[in-house]
Amino acid sequence: MSNSTTLLDQILSNQAAKEVLANALFDAMSPASIWGRHASACSGLTWGYYGGQYGANAVANGTVTLTASTTNYVYADNATGAVSVNTTGVPSGKIPLYTVVTGTTTVTSYTDVRSYAPQSQAGASFGSQTANYVFAGPTSGAAAIPTFRLLVAADLPVFVASGASHAAGAVPDPGSTAGSARYLREDCTWQVPPGSGGSSTLSGLTDVSVTEGAGINGYSLTWNNSTGKWVATNVSAGSGMSDDAVHYSGANHPTITGFSTQQSTNMTGGVNTLANLASGRGFTHTIQPPSTAAAEYHSYITQPVPAGSSWAIIAMMAWNAGTYQTYNKAGLLVMDASGNWVAFGHSFANTGQQGRGAYLAAAGLNTTPTNVPISGVPPAGPPCWFKLTYASGGNFVFYTSVDGETWVQRYSVSVTAVIGTPTKTGLYNNCNDQSGVAVANMSCVLSVYHYFQG
């Protein structure tokens, strides 16, 4: 702006072509004329305005249509410079230009409400704003003039896990799936604390490692939330060999009450006993046929099947047929309501094939079973692990293991191909002499160290 000493060219009273100098001065002042009233373009309810350069946007001369018999608010967009009009007021963040009062057909008065606002500051309205709004650039895309808006997730960088690249920031999103009692770990992940919810089992817990040792066998582990420690409790005998895991040590083995025994009719007068082991753990099942030569001497020890459409039987056992090892068998058993049964385990076809495995199936207690060889079954004598799985409408699958943890599948057969719906599970023991040798001294002992079904 010029002061007492002007910087502008002056129009002299006696100069010629005064209009040339005047037009040159108006041209120099033209940036200030943007959005000004363009008188020659105004007529009736048509409001004309001058254009100009608004930042990078060129605004052309133009017009807007006013509403009759009311107050009209003419304003410019703070981002583009485009001119609009309404009868409700200048929107927040827009640039006010004119307030125009109209009659039925013409403008009756108007007020110029423009003020100096360089483009770099245009649109920055620091009047009243909506609660929780911030003055910021666009949420995405190219750079644009800042406005007042709500924060979005992209405005808040998430903190980075501890370490060399750690950076402060907002808490990470826990995800769309609802959780319970989760906490945020140092590695930026949401986790459930060990023992959350008072769980008494290991299932569902994280960051828990329990290694089996000499002091764990025969005990159950329960997490105590108040002390933050595992409590080891000696397994109670309960109802004997019921549907729970049984793994007894020392003098803790129970009286056998969970199994019932059955034997073939030609075992009449023979020995069929269940007893606790004198030492170690578990129990023994001993059969000794009567002193009459016969084809088969069967004995079963059973209990009701576990609940559910699929289950498993697991046993650690040792089996010995003494001196007479011809056609003797022992293993895991499943029976249906009609007395049909199927068994998987050890078999002695003759003394030259000791330790051969067998899959047996028979239509009743007094029926000679079908004997199908199974390769790879550990020999009789030392303890070994057997497992049989059942799936309704599926197969019986037989496994063996040397340690009770790593299992090898040995045989599979359709359930419906051998028996009906299972009603009993347990163990099978057989003494047999098809060669006619006197059987009075024959004794088949099944020692069970661990049994589970469920």
Residue 301 confidence (pLDDT): 83
Question: Please, are residues 207 and 193 in contact by the beta-carbon 8 Å criterion?
Answer: no
CA separation for the pair 74, 36 (Å, rounded): 11
What pLDDT score does 235 carry? 45
Task: Say how many residues make up the chain.
Answer: 454
Note whether 149 and 136 are within 8 A (CB): yes
Torsion 147-153-154-157 (CA) sign: positive
pLDDT of residue 71: 96
* Widest distance between CA atoms in the chain: 156
| Distance set, CA 316 to CA 44, 144, 294, 451 (Å) | 105, 76, 30, 7
pLDDT at 294: 56
Q: Which residues contact 385 (CB under 8 A, 6 or more apart)?
A: 314, 315, 316, 400, 401, 402, 403, 404, 407
Handedness of CA 7, 13, 16, 22 (dihedral sign): positive
φ, ψ at 347 (rounded to 5°): -155, 140
Buried/exposed code over 117-128 (b: 16+ C-beta within 10 A; e: otherwise): eeeeebbebeee
| Contact partners, residue 324, CB within 8 Å, separation at least 6 | 431, 433, 437, 439, 441, 442
Q: Which two tokens stand for residue 368?
A: 């000679």
The count of C-alpha atoms lying within 13 angstroms of the C-alpha of 5, restricted to the half-sphere facing its C-beta, is 0
DSSP string, 129-178: --TT-EEE--SSSS----EEE---GGGSPBPPPSSTT----BPPP--SS-
What SS3 class is residue 107? strand
State how far the alpha carbon of 42 is from the alpha carbons of 73, 322, 373, in Å. 16, 123, 108
Give dist(CA 35, CA 428) in Å, integer: 103
CA neighbor of 299 nearest in space, from 337, 356, 259, 355: 259
- Residue from 206, 201, 140 nearest 179 by CA: 206
Q: Do 343 and 369 form a contact (C-beta atoms < 8 A)?
A: yes
Domains of the chain: 18-112 (no CATH), 157-175+182-192 (no CATH), 197-234 (no CATH), 250-453 (2.60.120.200)
The pair of structure tokens assigned to 21 is 């100098």
- Label residue 70 exposed, middle or buried (CB < 10 Å: 0-12, 13-18, 19+): exposed
> In a structure prediction context, what are the per-residue pLDDT tens digits for the chain, which is 454 residues long?
567 788 888 888 898 988 888 888 888 888 888 999 999 999 999 999 999 999 889 999 999 999 999 999 999 999 999 999 999 999 998 999 999 999 999 999 999 998 755 544 444 656 778 899 988 899 888 888 888 899 888 888 888 888 888 888 788 877 777 777 777 787 788 777 765 544 444 444 444 445 444 444 455 566 666 666 666 665 433 333 332 333 333 333 344 556 777 777 767 777 777 777 655 557 777 777 776 655 567 788 888 888 888 988 888 888 876 655 556 788 898 989 988 888 888 876 544 444 567 777 778 777 777 778 788 787 777 788 899 999 988 999 999 888 888 898 988 989 998 899 998 888 888 877 655 454 556 778 888 877 778 7
Measured CA to CA, the distance from residue 38 to residue 126 in angstroms comes to 30
